[in-house]
Structure 1
Amino acid sequence: MTALEKALENAGNAEDAEALQRYGSRLLRHAAGFALETLDALPAFTGDDLRRPTPCAGWDLWMLLRHLDDSLATLHEAVALGTVRLDDPGTATPAAGEPGGLVAGLRERTRRLAAAWSDADRDGRVVMVGGCPVMGGVVAGTGAVELAVHAWDVARTSGAACEIPAPLAERLLRLAPLLVPEHARQGLFRPPVAVPDGAAPGDRLVAFLGRDPGRSVQALGA
């Protein structure tokens, strides 16, 4: 089960699910916009670069990009079909093996996802997650955390300058403890990383999810 799917299981019991139903899709669109900006700013890289270590423990860049592709497919399935199958890795079209084609495919899927979720806040839709009903806004809010943090992961791996916008990060910080309670971390996230007082909201968000925002790209494989 992926981190996104596990978070969706937890999200079904979130106390603020009703509020998320009102603004979850807006958060997802903002996260998708940040992801698109990040993908557009990536430096050119080669097939060898796909083997770089990432902030996701045990994953290289290729694995991270494929996971992001699967997450986009899962979120699109949720809005298009009204269901998420927790035992299914998603229905993403295999991305081109050449790095530029892979990133271009991710950009296009991110654009389609943002457009598909544009009306979900207003229509009160419900998504079946592993056979259980979850409000669409909750699914969207969960997806927003996933997209924003993995976009940061990709940028950090590639050496691109990247900071999750403070307004988006502050909202996602309020959601993250609900979507990733302590009992759900094992096997999915490292323990939270301590950050200095006054750290930017984006740094605090990725640190809560086990990333060290102060760790250099060169040190990722250490």
Structure 2
Amino acid sequence: MTQTIGELLETAADRALPVVRGIGDGQLGGSTPCAEYDVRALLNHLFLVVVNFQALAAREDVDFTQEPDFVADGDWRGRFGDETARLVEAWSVPGVEEGTTGRMGLPARTVGLMVLGDLTVHAWDLARATGGDFAPEPSVLDEVGPGLAAMAPQAREMKVFGEPFPVPEGATAFERLLAVTGRDPGWRPTGVPGAAVG
């Protein structure tokens, strides 16, 4: 039986939270697989995604052009846990996957898969940037892989994904998913910043 978006998000959040909680303040300026973001900027982007997709679940308007500095809050690690819990709750409301949501009028389940993809891929980005470990649950990967592959052409047109990264035939399903988004699954930071915990 197909899992609900709420169930999948809960599983994905459980994997993402240890990554975020393990990031030290001294690592916030480090590079990430997303060339335009350092660790701090990527954290702020992921916070914004998590907050805005709560609103999309409730059929409210969102604004992705404003990126508040969520990391300025001294307890941002705890707040990330709170916001992901709200995200799971928002996407667990009965009927939330019915109809459409957002300005583009996309099917609600598709929108839910988008935030599931962001939570999964950006958790990997942050783990790889800061020396942490991350692997998605197979149940999440089974949903996100085909979902992101289907969205990839439009995402590239919108400059959300880069060109697909070439991977060998023996690449894992997650490596292929990362490559579809334009990421190099073997990416490592050139100079790992100090791992001082704030």
TM over 0.5: yes
- Answer whether contact 2:44 2:71 (CA < 8 A) is retained: no
- 1:119 maps to which residue? 93
1:45 and 2:20 aligned: no
Q: 1:93 to 1:216 in 2, by over 3 A?
A: closer
Q: Is the 8 A contact 1:76 1:113 kept in 2?
A: yes
Selected match of 2:153 from 164, 181, 190: 181
- Give the superposition deviation at 1:91: 8.4
Cα distance in 2 between the residues matched to 1:165 and 1:79: 23
The amino acid across from 2:93 in the alignment is D
1:105 to 79, 89, 94: 79
Contact 1:32 1:148 in 2 (8 A): no
In structure 2, the partner of 1:83 is: 60
The unaligned stretches of length 5 or more in structure 2 are: 194-198
When normalised by structure 2's length, the TM-score is 0.81
Instruction: State which of 150, 163, 175 in structure 2 corresponds to 1:191.
Output: 163
8 Å contact 2:97–2:108 — kept in the other structure? Answer: yes
Identity of aligned residues (%): 24
Q: Tell me if the contact between 2:8 and 2:140 (Cα under 8 Å) persists in the aligned partners.
A: yes
| CA 209–109 in structure 1, closer or farther in 2 if over 3 Å, else same | same
Structure 2 match to 1:57: 35
Equivalent position to 1:95, from 49, 56, 70: 70
User: Structure 2: which amino acid aligns with 1:45?
Assistant: G
Secondary structure of 1:54 counterpart: coil
Which deviates further from its counterpart, 106-115 or 190-199? 190-199
Match of 1:71 among 49, 55, 58: 49
Higher helix share: 1
Structure-1 residue corresponding to 2:196: none
Q: Secondary structure at the match of 1:218?
A: coil
Paired residues in the alignment total: 192
Map Cα deviations across residues 161-214 of structure 1 (whole Å, 9 max, x no partner): 111223322321211132221673463222111222232211111111011111
- TM-score with structure 1 length normalisation? 0.73
Please state how far the C-alpha of 1:76 moved relative to its aligned partner. 0.4
What residue number does 1:156 align with?
128
Aligned partners of 2:17, 2:50: CA distance in 1, in Å? Answer: 14
Give the Cα separation in 2 of the matches to 1:145 and 1:125.
19
Distance in 1, Cα, partners of 2:110 & 2:81: 23
Whichever residue aligns with residue 102 of structure 2, its letter is V
Q: What stretches of structure 1 of length at least 5 have no aligned partner?
A: 1-21
Alignment match, 1:147:
119
1:68 touches 1:147 (CA, 8 Å); kept in 2? yes
- Conserved? CA contact 1:56–1:153, under 8 Å: yes
Q: Secondary structure in 2 aligned to 1:191?
A: coil
Alpha carbons of structure 1 residues 163 and 127: separation in structure 2 relative to 1, 3 Å: same
Partner SS, residue 190 of structure 2 = helix
Query: CA RMSD for the aligned pairs?
Result: 3.0
